Amino acid sequence: MGTSRQSGAGPPREQVALRASLVATAVLAALGVGWGLAAGSQAILLDGAYTLIGMVLTGLSLHAARVMEAGPTPRYPFGRESLAPLVVGMQGLVLLGTCGYAALDATRVILDGGADEVSPGSMAAYGLLTALGALAIHRYLRRADPASDLLDAEARQWWAGALLSLVVLVGSVLALLLGDRLGPGPQRYLDPVLVLVACLLLVPQPVRMIRTMAVELLEGAADQRVQQPVRDRVDRVGEQFGLGRPALRVGKVGRKLYVEADFVVEPGRWDIADEDRVRRETASQLSDLPYDVWLNLELTTDPSRLA
């Protein structure tokens, strides 16, 4: 049995993108909190608080990216890629808690008879401005480094923020269009209802982030969109050397991709040099994947080893 390690694309792009996200987060967080306090809108305050918490989490992601870039050390011979799913899961838990608190507070406001009326025009202007900003940052992060779990989590946060801003925008526009017909009474419930709708739309994002943490830290199988390219390349190597389909296991932790491929061969026909050739070709085939691939490949004459 042998192990081969190859490095994927280096992570500086990840850190540059996280720094850009951190700056944008600080600007929008200040805007949201300030605008929400001035307008007396809980929905805008939720958006600002969500963004403010995101700023802290972005700083945590940036620190984790720097630590992971250091690579293996004597104390951590396999690196510290486990920080990536851990940080992603922490982000999910914090954001889920934020949504839960906001939903409970909005429910209390509704049961108390609604909130003071908020200018729909002010809310619409805020929603449009922040939605455009969040969508722009989301698009940038998606393109910066598709293989980065930290940037994926960051992009999910911005997408959630964009949804929240769009909810504020749509609700405010409806209030402007229907305000004269409905009268002042229903408008007292506009703000808390928008908060509840936003929370319902946001909840799936942190749930997925928590699930990602659990699967990776428990060494679960990688997602099919990650496994299939590996399967295709390993099968191609098997055909090239006249081997059958291997027993293949693929796991992912952060940027690190563990690939274990075991081929059953006939006794007496293969030696260690042959196994080395298969391993080198497999490593070459996997080299274009955007991950840090740790390959473990074995040729064996014992089928029971694959069980």
Residue 52 resides in a domain:
yes
116/258 same-domain check? no
pLDDT at res. 133: 93
201/253 same-domain check? no
Q: Which two tokens stand for residue 17?
A: 């993108």
Residue 87 resides in a domain:
yes
> Which CATH number fits the domain that encloses residue 267?
3.30.70.1350
DSSP 8-class letter at 301: S
Mean pLDDT of the chain: 84
> Which CATH number fits the domain that encloses residue 90?
1.20.1510.10
Three-state secondary-structure class, residue 259? strand
179/231 same-domain check? no
206/239 same-domain check? no
pLDDT at res. 212: 86
pLDDT at res. 1: 45
Q: Lowest-pLDDT range, 67-76, 240-249, 273-282?
A: 67-76
Residue 2 resides in a domain:
no
Q: What is the pTM of this model?
A: 0.70
Higher pLDDT, 83 or 135: 135
Query: What's the rounded Cα separation, in Å, for the pair 22 and 18?
Result: 6
Q: Which two tokens stand for residue 169?
A: 């925008």
- Quick one: pLDDT band at residue 42, thresholds 50, 70, 90? confident
36/165 same-domain check? yes
- Quick one: pLDDT band at residue 6, thresholds 50, 70, 90? very low
Residue 283 resides in a domain:
yes
Contact 102, 197 (CB under 8 A): no
- Quick one: pLDDT band at residue 2, thresholds 50, 70, 90? very low
pLDDT at res. 295: 94
Domain boundary among 192, 217, 242: 217
Residue 1 resides in a domain:
no
- Quick one: pLDDT band at residue 260, thresholds 50, 70, 90? very high
Residue 197 resides in a domain:
yes
What percent of the chain lies above the pLDDT cut of 70? 91
Domain boundary among 217, 249, 284: 217
- Inter-helix orientation angle 190-202/204-217, to 10°: 30
Residue 208 resides in a domain:
yes
Contact 27, 274 (CB under 8 A): no
139/176 same-domain check? yes
- Quick one: pLDDT band at residue 291, thresholds 50, 70, 90? confident
* Mean pLDDT of the 264-276 span: 89
Query: What's the rounded Cα separation, in Å, for the pair 141 and 154?
Result: 8
Structure confidence by residue, pLDDT tens digits, 236-253? 999 999 898 899 999 988
39/179 same-domain check? yes
- Quick one: pLDDT band at residue 209, thresholds 50, 70, 90? confident
Looking at the 3D structure of the chain, how many domains does it have? 2
pLDDT at res. 185: 66
35/115 same-domain check? yes
Domain boundary among 217, 235, 267: 217
Asked if residue 256 has pLDDT above 80, the reply is yes
Domain that holds residue 98: 10-217
Structure confidence by residue, pLDDT tens digits, 136-182? 999 999 988 877 888 888 888 888 888 878 888 887 887 777 766 76
pLDDT at res. 236: 93
169/93 same-domain check? yes
- Quick one: pLDDT band at residue 282, thresholds 50, 70, 90? very high
192/277 same-domain check? no
Residue 236 resides in a domain:
yes
129/260 same-domain check? no
* Mean pLDDT of the 246-269 span: 89
174/81 same-domain check? yes
Which among 202, 155, 193, 146 has a CA at the least distance from the CA of 172? 193
Asked if residue 88 has pLDDT above 90, the reply is no
Query: What's the rounded Cα separation, in Å, for the pair 208 and 211?
Result: 5
Query: What's the rounded Cα separation, in Å, for the pair 210 and 205?
Result: 9
Structure confidence by residue, pLDDT tens digits, 104-143? 888 988 888 876 666 778 888 988 999 999 999 999 999 8
